[in-house]
A and B are shown apart, each in its own frame.
Chain A
Amino acid sequence: MKNGFSVFLASFLALSLSWCGFVLGPAKQLGTQKQAAVLNSSDVYPIQRSGAAALGLQVYRANGCAACHTEQVRQDGVACEVVLASAGKKPTAVSNLLSTLKLAGLTKEEADAASDKISGAGGTVETHVVPVGVEIPRWGLRQSVAADYLYDTPVQLGSLRAGPDLANVAARFPDLNWQLVHLYAPQAVVKNSAMPPFRFLFEVRNIKPADTPSPDALKFPQGFAPPAGSEVVPTTEAKELAAYLLSLKVDAPLYEAPFTPVMTKP
């Protein structure tokens, strides 16, 4: 290259290509995304977070929680699972047949063949779509997709799992008091946790015998309670952060991330 202009041209060409690819492309494709339909349902997804949870996202951002926690789950693929709905009139024959068949980790064709055999023997079956991967039972029901972050600004995907993934933390720990105690003293509820306590989000108050304790005061497990005569009360920020954590729940099957929701008894 002989002069400055050719260097400029080369840089312009290289950078504008990647700019079109990774800035303009996603801004057009993902930046105009709208709510998606939930599979086999008339619901739309996602729903905007509640006011407290949306404020909690800002507490999450301000304290850099994403430095240690991701909010994204990966999966390797999906498989079919054949589940017996009812054994019909000949339960022994069906149960004998079931013991000879492979019922989980099937392709669509294998699942159809298996359900045909069982229906032939008189049973009724359902075919479930099940996401597969190490992270599925541990972190969530399905992989994360772009639609999950539609309403978040800033999107806090995170890139390091020094702590657990939080994409679905509300499903694992739905209790508000648990979340607050965990923020105040992680080691009180998770043994040997490496998470730093966020005591600056709480207030320790002295209560005089005449006062009634605050309804917000944390309820600690045995051995971790504050000394008698004092209570730990969350600040507004702590309450918002907990509300945000309790809003992190990915449980809607979508076209790009299908699965069959399984109803569990409460």
Chain B
Amino acid sequence: MSENEKSDNLGGASVLASRIDASCRVPLLALFGGAALWLVVGLAMSLVAIMTFHKPDMFADCPFLTYGRAQAAANDLLLYGFCIPAGLGVMLWIFARLSQAELCLPLASIAAANLWHLGVLVGTVAILIGDSTGYAWLEFPRGASVLLFAAFLLVAISAMATFGARKERELYPSHWFLLAALFWFPWIYSTANLFLIVHHPVRGVAQAAIDWWFSNNLVFVWLALVGIGTVFYFLPKLANRPLHSRFLALFAFWTLILFGTWCGIPQGAPVPAWMPSASAAAASLLIVPLIAIAVIACKTVCGSTVACKGGPMCHIKFGTTAFILSGLMLIAASCPQFSRVVEFTWFGPAQAQLQILGFFTIVMCGAIYELLPRVMNFELPFPKFVRLQHWLFMLGVVLWVGSLAVGGVEQGMKLQNPEAAFADSTNVALIFLRAGTTGLLLILLGSLLFAANIFAMTFKWKMSLLKTMITFIKSPLATEEVKS
């Protein structure tokens, strides 16, 4: 990496770097533009869903926005609409940069981006009209999943071709994480779809077990692989220091994929006891990769003289901290004693929201702010929004996730108290939910600022394309040809 870093700064290589960046331009804009739109729509949908807890009869006559549908649509929009395409875009750029080669098969990626966003649109409409599959994090029906699956394979082909074209054979740690993520998604997504939706669904509670396995592998492991892979690429670059210990990174990678993939079966689940027990054991071992990742991040950043000033580095730092916290929450929720209290409360959604919004979204925003000006070859149209968005997100995530988590614990204590009425548990959770709505609003505002930058950049680029076209049409060369 350090060699790459040096060569980036060299005059001759910077021409190559700008050629690489230019080759990513259209696929990345297609992926990020849709992702930014889905982020805003998804957060707005979350807000619509949470309004039910402020005024229960708000959507009593509107089947499309009833809580169960709006909530599922919001979750899937954030995960499938924003996280995955944004992650894929950042991954393509990192692969091209690490390979020191132009993006291979850019047309495949452009087609994939459009297919993917079409799939998200189809899936979301299906959920809102009541056509969801009823499995958590897998609500998109068959038609949408086929589109998503095909799109992912197309991006994977483009990414693998770029990876194969690399000049330096030695792999950088980010490579491991991102390659594993490329392999992970097709496997888990096809398994979940084949077992639960396409084929005859398996019988009884085995459906729930497969859905838990899938959602843990997507929401925790996949996001961790892509997010941490991105962090390991950008953190050293931004801090202007080499990544601490390649060996420790390898250790973190191995333990993360080995233990992370076994988590996710709830402790009170009505399944044979070996399953929750295996999950609890794996979750307790998850502390090992968390510590390793925390040590790598700290040692890489400590001693850096670069001030982050609310820029991309702040995003990445906050995101990494949020990942460690979300991992700790996952471990806590798998601990049998604690899970008695917090299972079936808002603590679970709090962990998922921290993973998606606090960790992944913020890391992706930071990475996109850093790479997009290079890819487009002009500065961000609203550079001040970067810092503002960082603060809005940080405050919003702390308020939103914090109130869900604390509300969840309070709710769980009431539920475990035989003297307390059930209504007490709902009432105590309601107070926290209503307070947390402020946080969600701040995150929505932040996402608007992010989208403004992306859309303005796309617009500016399209205008410049248009100008080039007009100058081309008006160019004197054409008239000369007519004369001759």
Contact = CB atoms under 8 A, between A and B. Distances in A.
Nearest to B171: A1
Nearest to A60: B134
Given A4-B171, A15-B257, A160-B346, A200 B63 contact: yes
Contacts of A29: 206, 272
Given A159-B266, A194-B426, A198-B60, A27 B169 contact: no
A34 B208 CA distance: 17
Interface stretch (B66-74, B81-89, B317-325, B367-375): B66-74
B204 interface: yes
5 tightest CB-CB pairs across the interface, nearest first?
A64-B68, A62-B130, A61-B134, A154-B134, A26-B209
B175 A157 contact: no
Interface string B38-79: 000000000000001100111111110011110110000000
Contacts of A64: 66-69, 71-72, 132, 134
A221 to B, nearest CB: 17
Interface size class of A (residues with CB under 8 A): 35 or more
A21 interface: yes
A63 B130 CA distance: 6
A12 to B, nearest CB: 7
Interface string A6-48: 0110111011011101110111011111000000000000000
Nearest to B214: A23
Given A11-B183, A159-B266, A163-B426, A153 B207 contact: yes
Contacts of A70: 344
Contacts of A205: none
A152 interface: yes
B149 interface: no
A263 to B, nearest CB: 25
Interface of B: 52-53, 56-63, 66-69, 71-72, 130-136, 163-164, 169-171, 175-176, 179-180, 183-184, 187-188, 191, 195-196, 201-210, 212-213, 217, 250, 253-254, 257-258, 261-262, 264-266, 268-272, 275, 278, 340, 343-346, 348-349, 411, 415-418, 422-423, 425-427, 429-430
A19 B206 contact: no
29 contacts: A4-B164, A4-B175, A7-B179, A12-B183, A15-B183, A15-B257, A22-B275, A23-B191, A33-B203, A33-B204, A61-B132, A61-B133, A61-B134, A63-B63, A63-B66, A64-B72, A64-B132, A67-B71, A70-B344, A144-B270, A146-B205, A149-B205, A159-B136, A160-B345, A162-B346, A162-B426, A193-B56, A194-B53, A198-B66
B68 A161 contact: no
A4 B179 contact: yes
Contact of A194 (B56, B196, B213, B271): B56
A150 interface: yes
B209 A22 contact: yes
Q: Which of B67, B132, B183, B203 has the most CB of A within 10 A?
A: B203
A196 interface: yes
Contacts of A194: 53, 56, 426, 430
A74 interface: yes
Nearest to B67: A196
Contact of A72 (B53, B180, B202, B270): B270
A162 B429 contact: yes
Given A30-B203, A31-B202, A164-B422, A148 B270 contact: yes
Interface in A134-154: 134, 137-138, 143-154
B68 A68 contact: yes
Nearest to B139: A64
Contacts of B272: 29-30, 146
Contacts, number: 229
Contacts of B61: 199-200
Contacts of A101: none
Interface in A62-102: 62-68, 70, 72, 74
Contacts of A265: none
B187 A19 contact: yes
A21 B278 contact: yes
B262 A18 contact: yes
Contacts of A207: none
A150 B203 contact: yes
A80 to B, nearest CB: 20
A27 B206 contact: yes
Contacts of B427: 192
Given A150-B203, A160-B344, A194-B426, A11 B67 contact: no
A181 to B, nearest CB: 14
A27 B344 CA distance: 25
A63 B68 contact: yes
B208 A157 contact: yes
Contacts of A18: 213, 217, 261-262
A196 B52 contact: yes
A165 B415 CA distance: 11
Interface string A116-149: 0000000000000000001001100001111111
A19 B192 CA distance: 11
A244 to B, nearest CB: 13
Given A30-B272, A154-B135, 17 more contacts: A10-B176, A17-B261, A19-B187, A19-B191, A22-B209, A30-B271, A32-B203, A33-B204, A64-B132, A67-B67, A72-B269, A74-B340, A159-B266, A162-B426, A163-B426, A194-B53, A198-B60
A257 to B, nearest CB: 9
A197 interface: yes
A234 interface: no
A155 interface: yes
Contacts of A33: 203-204
Contact of B271 (A146, A165, A196): A146
A159 B176 CA distance: 33
A251 B75 CA distance: 35
Nearest to B256: A14
Nearest to B70: A64
A30 B205 contact: yes
